[in-house]
Chain A
Amino acid sequence: MTGSKKNTRHTASNHTSWIQKFESSPNGQPLRALRQRAIADFDRLGYPTTADEAWKSVNPSALIRTNFGPAPPASLADAELEPFIYPDLQTIRLVFVNGYYAPEHASDIPEGITIANLADVYDHPLVKAHLGKLAQTADLAFTALNTAFMRDGVFIHVQRNITVEAPVHILFITTASETPTISHPRNLIIADENSQLSIVETYAGIGSAAYFTNAVTEIIARDNASVNSIRLELQGTAGLHVANFQAQLGRSSRMTFHDFTLGGAFVRNDVSAYMRGEGSEATVNGFYALEGSQHVDNYTLLEHAEPHCPSHELYKGILGGSSRAIFRGKIHVHQKAQHTDAYQQNENILLSDNARVNTKPQLEIYADEVKCSHGATIGQLDENALFYLQARGIPKAEAKRILLRAFADDIIGRVTLAPVRSHLSDLIDTRLEHIDARETA
């Protein structure tokens, strides 16, 4: 029976091509054991199909049918980078173009922090000890693929008691290419005891060609560390984006994560926060604004393994055209995790009759003393609020903009880095105007 199941899953010809590609790669490649386990997992899992619970409402055929090859190395002019950086913000910057580290765009690195291209530090004891530990490959085909083929990405280690003042800005830019390309960015971030770090991850595409970014980020926040992470997904109109973000929180540590999905044809985000230390606190928020036939999938897992951990989760979306969003938020409270306080909310505004949202909260609670709440809304723009604004002299288009902006501001306003917040604010304004223009056209 296993054989027949395997056959239906492996019909995609490029599945086998991945295996062949792996086998023809040099045997002396570092992290060989980890990669071999990953490719074996991928071989067993195959590409996800709608039969997989986690991909149930998705048709990943675009991911499967296209034969993505490795991207050629490319250079990026400063001017091409400019739209994605913050002139008013001093950052520690690392740039990757088509998956390759571009040291010419990197900035200086201050003391107390180790930052390197991952491919250069495979032998680092922390990399050896932690890479692939959080982002397990046993169940996730794309994470397995990333692990088998990963090369460049960011390794960050912040030593204890160090507060890194400047945020680390990591940019993964894909340039247009005639043949569909794939990159597997891989990041490992370790914040030691009492340290503090902010990260901004920008994933962007230049041009309208098809490409696939398959990213994995692992974050370890040790006791009392504080990690503030923002992710901007600004992929091109034909860009496919799968990202797995896994964080582990030590005792009394804090991790905030804000995701903004504004681009890409297909985006799948897996985000998980594993509260392994007592009193740790996770905040996971997201915003998506979609149009055309864009498809965005947010799967989140907040795992409460220890007592006294609060978690806060708010995802909001605005959908136009025939776009589609899926939100599944799982809160898992272990038996030991007494006094858990978990809050989850997903809110959506549909601007078109053809846009669709599926939202599914999932609560698994094994402890007795738990405060857990969740809610979801899917609706249209409030007609009464529109009329109220119009009755005060505000033209309809402006009234709409005000209401949509207020809805988005709920998330934008939580971003603490002011220059990033104002950049996002502009991006989202432009985007909302664009979506609305397409609806009213």
Chain B
Amino acid sequence: MLEIRNLHAGVEDAEILHGINLAVNAGEIHAIMGPNGSGKSTLAQVLAGHEAYSVTEGEVIYEGQDLLDMDPDERAVHGVFLAFQYPVEIPGVNSAYFLRTALNALRTARDEEEVDAIDFLTLIRDKLKLVEMDEKFLKRSVNEGFSGGEKKRHEILQMAVLEPRLSILDETDSGLDIDALRVVANGVNTLHSADKATIVVTHYQRLLNNIVPDFVHVMLDGRIVQSGDKTLALELEEKGYDWIKEEHATHSV
């Protein structure tokens, strides 16, 4: 589904990603772990198409197409979804309007019929249950005054409405209490299926107790330095990142 080949990217003259290689197939859950500043979030933002980052080398092929050639909205139309680490507040735009506009933007771009307000309400009520959110959220401005947990659940709600094929969760677990973490993980697990892929970017192993990955990759200084199965995450939890840093330093020399 997704193939990242030798991806170099950064901001202005500072390169952050120094050659990422990663292949993700349908049905798989990949976890990308790493200490702060290793480039995990940059990778997530580059995949979503944030303008602040420029790609200097390499390519990203998504379902046979050049992902880097697409605008952020085209990527969404093709089924790519980023759950933001820091969801953006949009004063004056209520959640219901936002969600319906986004859904209809995708449907219009795919030559499908738009969803009217009544059908949307039926649809959204169902999705709200999944993330255990109250209907009153729909009337509030997007993310404005939401707690950290509410923001993250709202991200998963968007994922539930838009039904992406490739979901990238950028530190969705950061700042969550255990109840919110359970809700978020349950949402992600429910939405995952054999024809979809999920990339979970996280700093902590905790989330991976609830979302069990098929593969775990460790990022360090803008590179994936180690890949393994879920046991790698447990090892990281136990020993921290230092041993990998040392091992990697030895390898490099």
Contact = CB atoms under 8 A, between A and B. Distances in A.
A395 B73 contact: yes
18 contacts: A385-B90, A387-B48, A388-B87, A389-B90, A389-B102, A390-B72, A390-B76, A391-B48, A391-B72, A393-B77, A393-B102, A394-B73, A394-B102, A394-B105, A395-B71, A398-B105, A407-B92, A410-B92
Given A382-B88, A393-B109, A395-B105, A406 B76 contact: no
A409 interface: yes
B62 interface: no
B162 A385 contact: no
Interface in B93-116: 93, 98, 101-102, 105-106, 109
Interface of A: 382-385, 387-396, 398-399, 402-403, 405-407, 409-410
A388 B90 contact: yes
Contacts of B71: 390, 395-396
Interface string B52-73: 0000000000000000000111
Contacts of A387: 48, 50-51, 72, 88
A397 to B, nearest CB: 10
Most buried by B among A383, A387, A403: A387
B91 interface: yes
Contacts of A384: 88
Contacts of B92: 405-407, 409-410
A303 B84 CA distance: 47
Given A391-B81, A392-B162, A410-B92, 11 more contacts: A385-B88, A387-B48, A389-B98, A391-B49, A391-B75, A391-B84, A394-B101, A395-B73, A406-B90, A406-B91, A409-B92
B198 interface: no
Contacts of A382: 88
A394 B74 CA distance: 9
Contacts of A385: 88-90
B158 interface: yes
Contacts of A406: 90-93
A402 to B, nearest CB: 6
B131 interface: no
Nearest to A392: B102
Contacts of B87: 388
Contacts of B43: none
B90 A393 contact: no
A440 to B, nearest CB: 14
Contacts of B106: 393
B73 A403 contact: no
Contacts of A395: 71, 73, 105
Contact of B82 (A389, A391, A405): A391
A170 to B, nearest CB: 31
A385 B106 CA distance: 18
Nearest to A413: B92
A403 B48 CA distance: 20
A399 B49 CA distance: 15
A392 B88 contact: no
A132 B73 CA distance: 58
Nearest to A383: B51
Contacts of A405: 92
Nearest to B161: A392
Closest 8 interchain pairs by CB? A406-B92, A393-B76, A392-B102, A390-B72, A388-B88, A393-B106, A393-B105, A390-B73
B172 to A, nearest CB: 14
A387 B84 CA distance: 11
A402 B101 contact: yes
A187 to B, nearest CB: 33
Contacts of B88: 382, 384-385, 387-388
Contacts of A399: 73
Contacts of B84: 388, 391
Contact of A392 (B50, B89, B91, B105): B105
Nearest to A387: B50
Most buried by B among A385, A396, A398, A409: A385
Contacts of B158: 392
B46 to A, nearest CB: 12
A70 to B, nearest CB: 45
Contacts of B72: 387, 390-391
A157 to B, nearest CB: 39
Contact of A396 (B48, B73, B76, B102): B73
A403 B90 contact: yes
B102 to A, nearest CB: 4
Contacts of B90: 385, 388-389, 403, 406
A382 B143 CA distance: 15
Nearest to B102: A392
Contacts of B50: 387
A382 B158 CA distance: 21
B80 to A, nearest CB: 9
Most buried by B among A383, A394, A398, A407: A394
Interface string B161-183: 01000000000000000000000
